[in-house]
């Protein structure tokens, strides 16, 4: 009888120990699963403008009278987590604008002009000299607006239809926000093309003299050397080495890339 009781007791202890270990082992998995679910629920977007501003609020009451305070600059093409769109007062002119809540890779949270952030989609760049915008994915809905070549934008693959795709862009020439359709043939989604132009567009905001010239040339060199297969390679070369030109061995006429 004592032997049976001892065996039963040992079996019970073993069962309890196994159950505890099982529970301990499943807890981290549950937490990891929750974190993964939260991560997948995050919505990402991209900065559409070179040196786009990142703001915080002097006070945050939720009202549109809350005034922005400049905190930092953001790079063209920078990926951010996006939240709600709200109105706030821009300290620069005292007017109310639409802002979007964002979180940067550093974890810092703040606001950006809604017109300078595209939520969702993927990065692309305009390669066509005559990239006409359309109101819908139909030729009949062509507008008179042409998006400049080398414009970095965000396109939405799920909208692609009949050779057209919806895009969001910040027109660097007119400084206007665009949300239209464009021919897929007018774009490149190749990473080398996109990244080289991000570097080029950033370089062009810097002066070609003094301390800024050092950074300008560094950015252009990176665009030229790091992305040799970019379709914009000759454009970058012309800016980096303005006193040289590619010469065809059968033709002495210098070939300058189109601007």
Residues whose CB is less than 8 angstroms from the CB of residue 215 and which lie 6 or more positions away in sequence, other chains included = 203, 206
**CA pair distance 84, 102, nearest whole angstrom:** 8
pLDDT tens for 65-104 read 999 999 999 999 999 999 999 999 999 999 999 999 999 9
Mean pLDDT, residues 43-59 taken together? 97
pLDDT tens for 13-42 read 555 554 554 454 444 545 555 555 455 568
The pair of structure tokens assigned to 211 is 């301390």
**CA pair distance 203, 213, nearest whole angstrom:** 9
How confident is the prediction for the chain on average, in pLDDT?
Answer: 86
- In this structure, the number of other CB atoms found within 10 A of the CB of residue 178 comes to 19
Q: Given this model, what pLDDT does residue 119 score?
A: 93
Q: Given this model, what pLDDT does residue 76 score?
A: 98
Rounded percentage of the chain residues whose pLDDT exceeds 70: 78
pLDDT tens for 198-224 read 999 999 999 999 999 999 999 999 999
Predicted TM-score (pTM) of this structure: 0.79
**Would the pLDDT of 246 be above 80?**
no
Sign of the alpha-carbon torsion through 42, 161, 191, 132: negative
- In this structure, the number of other CB atoms found within 10 A of the CB of residue 237 comes to 17
pLDDT tens for 144-172 read 999 999 999 999 999 999 999 999 999 99
Position with higher pLDDT, 143 vs 248? 143
Mean pLDDT, residues 104-130 taken together? 97
Concatenated DSSP letters for 194-258?
HHHHHHHHHHTTS-SSHHHHHHHHHHHHHHHHH-TT-TTHHHHHHHHSTT--EE-TT--SEEPPP
Q: Given this model, what pLDDT does residue 257 score?
A: 39
Mean pLDDT, residues 170-187 taken together? 96
Residues whose CB is less than 8 angstroms from the CB of residue 3 and which lie 6 or more positions away in sequence, other chains included = none
Rounded percentage of the chain residues whose pLDDT exceeds 90: 76
Position with higher pLDDT, 28 vs 176? 176
Instruction: Tell me whether residue 241 is exposed, middle or buried, using C-beta atoms within 10 angstroms of its C-beta: 0 to 12, 13 to 18, 19 or more.
Output: exposed
**Would the pLDDT of 47 be above 60?**
yes
Is there a contact between 146 and 77 (Cβ–Cβ < 8 Å)? no
């Amino acid at each position: 009888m004592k032997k049976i009781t001892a065996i039963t007791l040992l079996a019970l202890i073993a069962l309890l120990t196994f159950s505890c270990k099982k529970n301990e082992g499943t807890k981290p998995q549950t937490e990891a699963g929750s974190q993964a679910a939260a991560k997948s629920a995050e919505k990402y977007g991209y900065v559409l403008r070179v040196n786009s501003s990142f703001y915080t609020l002097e006070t945050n009451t939720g009202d549109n009278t809350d005034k922005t305070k400049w905190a930092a600059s953001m790079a063209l093409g920078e990926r951010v987590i996006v939240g709600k769109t709200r109105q706030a007062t821009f300290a620069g002119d005292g007017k109310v604008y639409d802002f979007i809540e964002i979180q940067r890779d550093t974890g810092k949270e703040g606001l950006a002009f809604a017109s300078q952030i595209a939520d969702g989609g993927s990065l692309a760049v305009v390669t066509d000299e005559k990239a006409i915008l359309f109101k819908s994915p139909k030729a009949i809905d062509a507008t008179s607006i042409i998006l400049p070549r080398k414009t970095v934008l965000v396109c939405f693959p799920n909208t692609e239809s009949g050779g057209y795709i919806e895009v969001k862009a910040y027109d660097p020439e007119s400084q206007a926000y665009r949300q239209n359709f464009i021919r897929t043939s007018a774009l490149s989604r190749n990473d080398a093309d996109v990244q080289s132009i991000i570097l080029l567009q950033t370089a062009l905001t810097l002066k070609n003299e003094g301390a800024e010239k050092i950074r300008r040339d560094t950015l252009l060199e990176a665009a030229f050397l790091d992305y040799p297969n970019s379709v914009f390679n000759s454009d970058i070369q012309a800016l980096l080495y303005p006193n040289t030109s590619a010469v065809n061995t059968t033709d002495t006429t210098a070939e300058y890339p189109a601007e």
